[in-house]
Structure 1
Amino acid sequence: MIWHNLKSKSFFSAYILVILMLVVAVVTGQKDVLFPEIAGMAMGVMVFSVPNWIKKPVHLWLSPTLAAFMGTSLNVLSLTPLLKIWLGFVIIVILMHIFRVNFGPTIPAGLLPIFLGLHDYVFAISTGIFTFVIMLAAFKVRNPEKLPNGPANFRKKTDTIIIGIVLCLWIWLAFTTRLEVLVVPPVFALIFEIFHSEKFPWKLIPSRLAVLTITAILSVGVYHMLDGSIIWVGVINVLITLFLCNFFKTPVPVAFGVSLMPLIYPAWGSWGFPIGVFITTGFLMCISAAYRQFRN
């Protein structure tokens, strides 16, 4: 399976897009170009063809791009970082509900510029460019005949409010304890999506938790072994993540975003990061599974 993916044109295209992002960051000397979820989005669309993502390709471009610009703009406000993140999160979730957006990576696109304290729009512009390419790829791989027919059930307001409160409390915990490793934007996107899924049984947790945690461990290891080289760390970590997804037979696109996180923030390049991923993913997934069991 892994060899089949490596030989496929879809993987090659997604891989080249990620490498291009890494090269642009190095050539321009702008780490703000890096948006880890671009790797997850590229793999989710071109390799794994996540149905909910490719159903409305335009959302793959507009949603994260507008969220990135909005998140950057909020940094002009005279508020604490925590209040800015809360405000940004609430605005994003409300807009996603109004425009019926099912694309989870919209959340990290809006939260990252606030968390990183970005005041220019390099991150937002870069996000807009790369997500535009991913949108075009989604139009190409999209097969209407294989997509669900009929009107899809959109998220329930109650579910959105509950998971919104849970994630806001989790972010508050991270800031209060000064444990930045508990802030894992790609995982927030995953939790937001599975919390709204019709079914999420307990048996799905171990494999996803293993993929994300081992990805974090090996990604930090490669980051230190290669002395933080942006291109080589990214190139190797994406391959490692693909291998893990195939080994556990669990495609988790957000894991590719996790694999690039050590490149953009010091705390995410520390050995505390895998612990943060394990705790954040495990705890929030258990809440999601318990809630779905309760609702069903």
Structure 2
Amino acid sequence: MHLTKIQIRDYLFGYIAIIVMVAVSAHFKTERIILPEFAVMSVGMLALREMNWIKQPYKIVATPVMTALIGYLVNLLPLAYIFKIGLVLFLMLVLLKLTRSRLAPAFATGLLPIITDAHHWTFILIIILLTGILLVGVLIHGSHKRISFELKPISSVAVWQYIWITAIWVLLVHGLGQDIMVGIPPVSVLLLEAVQQVKYPLYMWGKHVLALTLAAALGVLGVILTNNWVLDMAITLPTIFVLLQIMKLELPAVYAFPPLMLILPKAMLPNLVLYTALASGVMLGCVFITKQYKVMRS
């Protein structure tokens, strides 16, 4: 995949923004400043200029903040972990539908308060600050002004597909006694993108599952092999970039894995690669089957 000098520059801007976030977190010796979806949105908005994400610039801040509030408030409820995840996913689907937003990474900001068991209000402030930085970057570049198509809301069909596919995964994980693995943010984000596609061929399913699994493995290895957060990001982010170039994919969601490793509960790390493969294989496999069934019926 050939990249222009401008694209390389934009990727560097995105990577630098991620590394600065992690460096500030390391300096203050806190994980609260790390927002994995900031990595996804940095690449998607500053480098790839994802049209569905930057078409409505004000939602770059508004949507993640609203989903984060949903996750934060649900986490305060006296519910089992698996029910919290299910409730948050449903409420976020409703929110994106009502607000006509297509910002898939906002799903992860809603899951994060539950996965990390966030109880402090500063979590919301961090999201406002980091998404505000991205908003400024998008406004300065001005690429959103050149998008002429009308942004359509997520279809009701896609919403229901997301719900029943997620329900299958929830039941499977619960049956395996691994409720803690029910919410893997990069997989949830990519699933939302996939159900909105008109076609989802088998080769794309394979590439997506492989990319997610390898990115998770790189994220885990980065944590194991380095004791320095900044060095970890400096190594794993370019490695993921090379991986995606080889696979000829533009997949911002996988960039969440390196910073995600820094804030996940330690109990998730040993099985994360395996369950990323299972989650992506099962859920994206359901998308493939659904799309194939639709083609056969038409």
What TM-score, normalized to structure 1? Answer: 0.89
Encode CA deviations 1:130-183: one digit per residue, 9 max, x unaligned: 11111222233443575353x444322133023123214423543552253453
* Residue in 2 that maps onto 1:283: 282
Summarize the alignment of residues 1-296 of structure 1 with structure 2, pairs less than 5 Å apart.
8-143=8-143, 147-149=147-149, 151-176=150-175, 177-178=177-178, 180-227=180-227, 229-265=228-264, 266-270=266-270, 272-296=271-295
State the Cα distance separating 1:230 from its structure 2 match.
2.1
1:200-255 Cα shifts (integer Å, max 9, x gaps): 2222122222222212212211211114x322222221111111111111011001
Give the Å deviation of 1:289.
1.7
Q: Secondary structure at the match of 1:32?
A: coil
Judging changes above 3 Å, is the alpha-carbon distance between structure 1 residues 146 and 247 closer, same or farther for their aligned structure 2 residues?
farther
- DSSP 3-state at the match of 2:103: coil
Is the 8 Å Cα contact of residues 262 and 268 (structure 1) preserved in structure 2?
Answer: no
Question: What amino acid is aligned across from residue 31 of structure 1 in structure 2?
Answer: E
Question: How far off is 1:118 after superposition?
Answer: 1.0
Whether the aligned pair in 2 keeps the contact of 1:54 and 1:139 (CA below 8 Å) is no
**Conserved? CA contact 1:200–1:292, under 8 Å:** yes
Amino acid across the alignment from 1:240 = T
Alpha-carbon distance in 2 for matches of 1:200, 1:140: 34
The code of the aligned residue for 2:294 comes to R
- Is the alpha carbon distance of 1:182 and 1:144 closer, same or farther for their aligned partners in structure 2, counting shifts above 3 Å? closer
Paired amino acid for 1:63: T
CA apart distance, 1:78 = 2.0
1:196 & 1:186 partners in 2: Cα distance?
16
Deviations 1:265-287 (A, max 9, x none): 214432x2211111111221111
Percent pairwise identity? 20
Q: Secondary structure at the match of 1:33?
A: coil
Does the C-alpha gap of structure 1 residues 249 and 165 become closer, same or farther in structure 2, counting only changes over 3 Å? same
Does structure 2 conserve the Cα–Cα contact (< 8 Å) formed by 1:238 and 1:256? yes
Deviation at 1:260, TM superposition (A): 2.4
Is contact 2:88–2:111 with CA below 8 Å preserved after alignment? yes
Q: Deviations over 1:32-74 (max 9, x none)?
A: 2212111111001111111211212222211112211231122
Q: Separation in 1 of the partners of 2:141 and 2:291?
A: 31
Structure 1 distance, partners of 2:187, 2:145, is 30
- Code of the aligned partner of 1:92: M
Distance 1:197 1:3, change over 3 A: closer
What is the RMSD of the two structures over their aligned residues, measured on CA atoms?
A: 2.3
Runs (5+) with no aligned partner, structure 1: none
